[in-house]
Amino acid sequence: MHLGEHADGVKFLIRDRDAKFTVAFDAVFAAAGMRIIKTPVQAPHANAIAERWVGSARRECLDRMLVAGERHLRLVLGEYTDHCTHRIGAWTVQGALLIALHRPDVVRPDDLALRHAVQARYGLDHLPDPAEVADLAQRWRPYRSLASSLLLAAARPT
C-alpha cells in the first residue's frame, strides 16, 4: 500500500516546525499532491489548541457513536463544530487570531475603541462604521494588526 491510496482528497499536511520533519519528509507528502503548512513561528500554542479541539471532539462526540463512513463523519463533525462555536462571533475569532496566534494582518472593524482611534487619527467628524474602518484598513495591509495596535496605543489616555 502506498501513501497515494490513502491520501485521496487530502489537500494539506499541517505540522509544526520541529527539526525531525526533514525536507525528505515534506517531499513524500508534496509528491502525493499535498500542500505542507507549518504552524506559525510565534504561536507555540497552535498545536496545543488544535490537539485540544481534536481531543474534545473525540471524547465528547466520536467516542459515543459508531461512524458509518466518511460522509457520516463529516456530517457529525460539522454538527459538533456548529454546536461548539454557535456563540463565537467574528470579533472573538479575529481576537484569537490577533492575540493567540500573532497573525500580522487581522483587523477588527467592529471594535469600538478602534473606531474611536480611527476617528481621532483621521480627523473624522463622525464615528466611522465598521465598513468604513474595514475600507480604511485595506491601506494598512499586510500589517493591519500592527497598525490597529498602534492606533489603539496612540488613542489611549496617558
97-152 residue pLDDT tens: 666 556 678 888 888 888 999 999 999 999 999 999 999 999 998 888 888 888 88
Amino acid identity of 65?
M
Are 77 and 125 members of one domain? no
Are 28 and 76 members of one domain? yes
Give me the mean pLDDT over the 14-31 stretch.
Answer: 86
**Domain end point (choices 85, 116, 131):** 85
Rounded-to-integer distance, Cα 49 and Cα 42, Å: 14
Are 56 and 113 members of one domain? no
Crossing angle of helices 144-155 and 130-137, in 10° steps, is 120
Domain membership of residue 72 (yes or no) is: yes
Q: What total number of domains does the chain contain? A: 2
Give me the mean pLDDT over the 78-91 stretch.
Answer: 73
Domain membership of residue 91 (yes or no) is: no
Question: Average model confidence (pLDDT) for the chain?
Answer: 81
Cα 41 to chain centroid distance, Å, stands at: 14
Q: Is the pTM of the predicted complex or chain greater than 0.75?
A: no
What is the predicted pLDDT for the residue at 1? 43
**Domain encompassing residue 130:** 104-155
pLDDT at residue 44 greater than cutoff 70? no
Rounded-to-integer distance, Cα 31 and Cα 10, Å: 12
Are 73 and 109 members of one domain? no
Q: Between 91 and 103, whose confidence is greater?
A: 103
Q: What confidence tier does 43 reach under pLDDT thresholds 50, 70, 90?
A: low
pLDDT at residue 9 greater than cutoff 60? yes
Least confident of 14-18, 62-66, 94-98: 94-98
pLDDT at residue 32 greater than cutoff 70? yes
pLDDT at residue 70 greater than cutoff 80? yes
Are 113 and 80 members of one domain? no
Grid cell listed for 137: 484598513
Cα separation values, 15 from 79, 107, 141, Å = 26, 26, 27
Domain membership of residue 34 (yes or no) is: yes
Domain membership of residue 121 (yes or no) is: yes
pLDDT at residue 153 greater than cutoff 50? yes
Are 80 and 139 members of one domain? no
